């Protein structure tokens, strides 16, 4: 499985609410995930796949007050509490779209997000998760092993492609028997196998061609 991030280009609405203690806080509200529609990354999430991932995210993260997000989408699956800006409090299906609500935190990075919102900066969201992808006819379909770990805030959601290329090719992810996320560096794993002469000649050629392809992509970016 690979890291997959998707940017929603619909700016969030901003609400000011008051908690039980009378303290005011900002909340961002808007569409946070969309199924059955080819997105700007050329990917489609089948309804059943995204619904399952969102339901698990709600149960594992939202209901346990662990549904933290960060500013922009970091190239990892795990959460960094020191960089948390908001906490998702609700995700409600509306057709093939999930409308979400997130409370802006009083953390140092949350204050940065608050300042951007109050200054009129358009804020979108980016889902962060991992899964397999199959491609056919130029369309990439996310597999049923997809799982969601965070919904991040992204500034300037209508900006150029720096937010679009959301697959980190250098790493694979898997879940162990306890549900813990394990990150594997593909290059390091391949090298170890190569050094131990576990790779066939065909696999060595495949890895070499993949490496050349990645270098070529870097040269074009």
Residues 6+ apart with CB under 8 A from 188: none
**Interatomic CA distance for residues 86 and 71, integer angstroms:** 9
Query: Phi then psi for 94, rounded to 5 degrees?
Result: -140, 90
- Among residues 21, 52, 73, 216, the one annotated as catalytic is 73
Is 126 one of the catalytic residues?
Answer: yes
Which stretches within the chain are classed as H helix? 47-57, 108-118, 186-195, 201-220
Residues 6 or more apart whose Cβ sits within 8 Å of residue 63? none
Nearest of 27, 26, 31 to residue 10 by alpha carbon? 31
- Smallest CA-to-CA distance from 65 within 93, 90, 97 is with 90
Of residues 67, 126, 200, 210, which has the active-site annotation? 126
The length of the chain, given as a count of residues: 221
The answer to whether residues 62 and 169 touch, using CB atoms and an 8 Å cutoff, is no
Alpha-carbon distance of 53 to 47, in angstroms, equals: 10
CA distance 170 to 3: 9
Looking at the annotation, which residues are catalytic? 73, 126
């Amino acid at each position: 499985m690979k890291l997959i991030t998707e940017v929603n280009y619909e700016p969030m609405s901003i609400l000011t609410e008051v908690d039980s203690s009378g303290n005011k806080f900002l909340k961002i509200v808007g569409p946070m995930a969309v199924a059955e529609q080819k997105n700007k990354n050329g990917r489609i999430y089948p309804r059943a796949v995204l619904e399952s991932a969102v339901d698990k995210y709600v149960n594992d993260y939202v209901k346990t007050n662990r549904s933290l997000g960060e500013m922009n989408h970091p190239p990892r699956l795990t959460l960094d509490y020191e960089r948390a800006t908001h906490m998702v409090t609700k995700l409600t299906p509306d057709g093939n779209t999930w409308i979400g609500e997130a409370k802006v935190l009083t953390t140092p990075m949350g204050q940065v997000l608050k300042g951007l919102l109050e200054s009129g900066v358009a804020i979108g969201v980016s889902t962060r998760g991992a899964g397999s992808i199959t491609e056919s006819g130029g369309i990439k379909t996310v597999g049923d092993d997809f799982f969601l770990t965070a919904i991040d805030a992204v500034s300037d959601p209508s900006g150029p492609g720096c937010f679009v290329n959301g697959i980190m090719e250098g790493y694979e992810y898997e879940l162990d028997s306890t549900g813990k996320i394990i990150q594997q560096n593909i290059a390091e794993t391949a090298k170890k196998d190569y050094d131990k002469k576990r790779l066939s000649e065909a696999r060595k050629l495949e890895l070499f061609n993949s490496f050349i392809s990645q270098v070529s992509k870097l040269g074009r970016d």
